[in-house]
Amino acid sequence: MEMLAALVLNGEGSRLVGRRSGNSELQAFLDNVSTYMQKINKVHLAAREGNIRELQAALDRRKFAIARDSISPNGATPLHVATVFGKTNIIKYLGGRFPETLSAVDFEGRTALHYAAVLPDNGHYYNLLQQLGANAKDLDDNGRSAEDYYKNPSLLPFSQLVADFGINEETAKEMLSDKVPEDQVSSRRVLDVPEALETLERCYRLLASARPARTPLSASSNSATPPLVLGRFLKRHVFDALKYRVTKLDHDLFDVIWPAVKKLPDNRNVVQTVEEDFPGGVTAPDYYVYEVFHEFLTPLVKDLHNINVHSDLPLHPPSDFVTHQRPQTKSSSSSSEPLVELNIDPNDEFVLSGTIECTRNLQGFELPINLKIGKLETIERIITTILMREDFAKITAQSNPESDQKGGTYYTLNEVLEKPSEISATLASFGLLIALCDREEIDDYTRLHGKHWPYGRGVYISDDKTIAIWINVHDHIRVVTSSPAESPGEVGLPFSKLFTIMSYLHEKMDFVFDYKLGHLSSRPTYLGSGIRFSLIVNFPGLTKDPDNMKHLCAMRGLQYRETLSPDIARISNYQCLSVTESNCFNDFTTAASNLLHLERDLSMQNSAHIATMLSNIFRRKRSSLTGADTSDYEKP
């Protein structure tokens, strides 16, 4: 019976049609051979046409998913067929529901990944099949892997492959919608999954309905929500031009705008993660979205960074971490490694805490959300090897002369996410903890971190607990430094530490860089120099008028965010694109100092007013006791 079934699954069922057997069980099987062949044929036709419902209807036996049919050459399986004909929905269904299809081979031992490796689609299906679980190391009958085919497509010329399947050259070109030869970033295919297109249409309607009748607000107004901002830039003609596009790593427009349109669960950690890391309502699941969706993202990115959307985006300047150009302050020394000493709140009146974060991604690796465990671990090993060197400990110690630290300790993210976690509590107490999702919460929200959360990720903590370097959380490297607890307005010291660390890392590693967008990040608000300054400040006077407070921040290029206390706010810089790290520091500290000066003046005015009132009351009481005339004190 197994041998007869193998004949049918191998596409040779016609040899059994009309055969008879004295065994009733075998005869029953032989009687159904024609039906089996018809269903296998329907599976192959559905794979060619991309008809998911027909495919599902014909797949009433699991083994039909890897069955061959005479309609498909070289012993190809349905997954081979879907790959050649460019049917993404079939590839995802078969590869996700039937993992065995990923290792099924044709008559020459080639998997569907071998076929995908030679398609001129910028590696789109090659990456997609690997994400589904295909192994690039599987060998064909000649001992060549899919990786070999990808490096040398002449091993199976594309023209020969499509000709074998009866596809003429003109049709083959039409299957790859983007004919631009220099395109190296898109999938060169249209998004043809009805469910995905319907979701995008609903998203557009949501953003269109959020668009106000009056002139839409800029992102830097401190009054606009992400849907309002996105609605300003995703007009109908722009949306219609972008909704069919897919990047080479299989990300469409929804993967970019989901933070602004997806209804998040009533879960504090997940919501906080989205709000903290994607305040603009957009994310970059890969580097290529910035080019594939540039009509939408380029003006939006300008707006998010407080840049005139109608002006040309200039070349991003070289990093100060490479040129060693630190900001000059009155307290800076003239030595080769000066410390920037700047306290914007010397009397510790208003600033409660301060942090600085800087983001980088390693050249040669995709963003963490797209990586398998092996690549995540490789990045983790590269970075931690550098961080645990003795010379790294020395340079971090030099940035804080009063510290007696000897280095630091690396913890995996599993250790940080333990409950209870002493590490997490320590990070939080020193202002170094970033927004994270718990392991049990991330299962349904792989859009945040990918399928392998939290493996291959962790955090390096300096001995003096003033530096945390997070690895593979959205971006490959996130360096966070905090201001001293006893002097939270001392922003110069953490910037000096960050400067020293980043300069060292720039010497040891190469980072992804775009000549206009600067250092690329999964978070569009971190493009450019990738630096973010953040202060938690008590504004008892200015926050009495929240709208005016937001306006004051916006006029100074500061992002304003409310906290649980009405008097306390978080302020941070909007722009880090088209400016250097030192310019970011100078602009932010000037703007923040100006706000603190306004708050100080206001508090002094209030104090003087209160003192005058108390003085008048005292004088009236004293006069009433002595019987003196109080008319002079009652005049306005």
- Higher pLDDT among residues 222 and 592, named by residue: 592
Q: What mean pLDDT is predicted for residues 59-75?
A: 92
Looking at residue 630, its pLDDT comes to 43
- In angstroms, the CA 112 to CA 65 distance is 13
- In angstroms, the CA 404 to CA 400 distance is 9
Distance of CA 210 to the CA centre of its chain: 24
How many other CB atoms are there within 10 angstroms of residue 621's CB atom? 11
- Model confidence at 267, in pLDDT bands (50, 70, 90)? low
Burial status of residue 392 (CB atoms within 10 A of its CB: 0-12, 13-18, 19 or more): buried
- Higher pLDDT among residues 403 and 355, named by residue: 355
First to last CA, the chain: 109
- In angstroms, the CA 480 to CA 477 distance is 10
- In angstroms, the CA 4 to CA 305 distance is 67
- Higher pLDDT among residues 402 and 261, named by residue: 261
CATH among 1.20.1250.20, 3.40.50.10880, 3.40.50.720, 3.30.590.10 for 368-473: 3.30.590.10
Looking at residue 229, its pLDDT comes to 87
The tokens for 377 are 């671990």
Residue 632 pLDDT exceeds 50: no
Q: What mean pLDDT is predicted for residues 108-137?
A: 96
- In angstroms, the CA 78 to CA 68 distance is 7
Phi, psi of 245 (to 5 degrees): -85, 150
Looking at residue 332, its pLDDT comes to 45
By the 8 A CB rule, do 39 and 78 touch? no
What percentage of the chain exceeds 90 in pLDDT? 65
Q: What mean pLDDT is predicted for residues 452-459?
A: 93
Please state which architecture CATH assigns to domain 194-304: Orthogonal Bundle (1.10)
How many other CB atoms are there within 10 angstroms of residue 522's CB atom? 24
Looking at residue 512, its pLDDT comes to 98
Chain position carrying tokens 């919460």:
441
Please state which architecture CATH assigns to domain 2-175: Alpha Horseshoe (1.25)
- In angstroms, the CA 487 to CA 351 distance is 9
* 386 contact partners, CB below 8 Å, separation of at least 6: 392, 505, 508, 509
- In angstroms, the CA 12 to CA 27 distance is 17
**Per residue in 188-226, pLDDT tens?**
989 988 889 999 999 999 998 886 656 667 777 777 888
What percentage of the chain exceeds 70 in pLDDT? 88
- Helices and strands in the chain: count of H runs, count of E runs: 28, 10
DSSP letters of 234-282?
--HHHHHHHTT--BTTS--HHHHHHHHHS---S-HHHHHHHHHH-TTS-
Residue 403 pLDDT exceeds 70: no
Looking at residue 591, its pLDDT comes to 96
Looking at residue 335, its pLDDT comes to 43
Residue 585 pLDDT exceeds 60: yes
Residue 443 pLDDT exceeds 60: no
**Pairing mode, strands 475-482 and 408-412:** unpaired
Residue 163 pLDDT exceeds 50: yes
Beta partners for 139? Answer: 145
Looking at residue 193, its pLDDT comes to 86
Q: What mean pLDDT is predicted for residues 18-46?
A: 87
Every domain of the chain and the residues it spans:
2-175, 194-304, 319-367+474-603, 368-473, 604-634
Q: What mean pLDDT is predicted for residues 26-54?
A: 90
Per the document, the length of the chain is: 636
DSSP letters of 156-219?
S-HHHHHHHTT--HHHHHHHS----TT--SB-SS----HHHHHHHHHHHHHHHHHS-SSPPPPG
Looking at residue 71, its pLDDT comes to 92
| Least confident piece of the model among 74-88, 193-207, 478-492, 614-628 | 614-628
| Least confident piece of the model among 125-139, 203-217, 244-258, 340-354 | 203-217
Could you give the 3-state DSSP secondary structure of residue 460?
strand
Looking at residue 60, its pLDDT comes to 87
* Contacts by residues 412-415 (CB-CB < 8 Å, ≥ 24 positions apart): 412/454, 412/457, 412/458, 413/454, 413/455, 413/457, 413/458, 413/459, 413/473, 414/439, 414/454, 414/455, 415/458
- In angstroms, the CA 407 to CA 453 distance is 27
Global confidence as pTM: 0.89
Q: What mean pLDDT is predicted for residues 426-453?
A: 82
Looking at residue 405, its pLDDT comes to 58
By the 8 A CB rule, do 159 and 113 touch? no
How do the residues of the chain divide into helix, strand and coil, expressed in percent and rounded to 5?
50, 10, 40
Q: What mean pLDDT is predicted for residues 501-516?
A: 96
Looking at residue 621, its pLDDT comes to 52
By the 8 A CB rule, do 401 and 333 touch? no
Q: What mean pLDDT is predicted for residues 499-513?
A: 96
By the 8 A CB rule, do 389 and 504 touch? no
- Model confidence at 634, in pLDDT bands (50, 70, 90)? very low
Nearest to 524 by CA among 270, 244, 188, 300: 300
Q: What mean pLDDT is predicted for residues 96-110?
A: 96
| Least confident piece of the model among 290-299, 499-508, 610-619 | 610-619
- In angstroms, the CA 559 to CA 444 distance is 31
Looking at residue 384, its pLDDT comes to 97
Q: 319-367+474-603 maps to which CATH number?
A: 3.30.590.10
Q: H/E element holding 498?
A: helix 492-508
Q: What mean pLDDT is predicted for residues 417-440?
A: 89
The tokens for 608 are 């003087």
- Model confidence at 635, in pLDDT bands (50, 70, 90)? very low
By the 8 A CB rule, do 281 and 256 touch? no
How many other CB atoms are there within 10 angstroms of residue 583's CB atom? 17
- In angstroms, the CA 231 to CA 300 distance is 10
Q: What mean pLDDT is predicted for residues 87-93?
A: 95
**Per residue in 288-344, pLDDT tens?**
999 999 999 999 999 999 999 999 999 999 999 998 888 765 444 444 455 788 999
Asked if domains 319-367+474-603 and 368-473 share a fold, the reply is: yes
Q: What is the mean pLDDT of the chain?
A: 88
* 64 contact partners, CB below 8 Å, separation of at least 6: 9, 36, 39, 40, 43, 58
**Per residue in 456-489, pLDDT tens?**
999 999 998 999 999 999 999 999 999 999 999 9
Nearest to 219 by CA among 633, 541, 559: 559
Residue 559 pLDDT exceeds 90: yes
Burial status of residue 353 (CB atoms within 10 A of its CB: 0-12, 13-18, 19 or more): middle
- In angstroms, the CA 361 to CA 534 distance is 21
How many other CB atoms are there within 10 angstroms of residue 263's CB atom? 6
Kindly tell me the sign of the dihedral angle through the C-alpha atoms of 418, 419, 420, 425: positive
- In angstroms, the CA 18 to CA 15 distance is 8
How many other CB atoms are there within 10 angstroms of residue 398's CB atom? 14
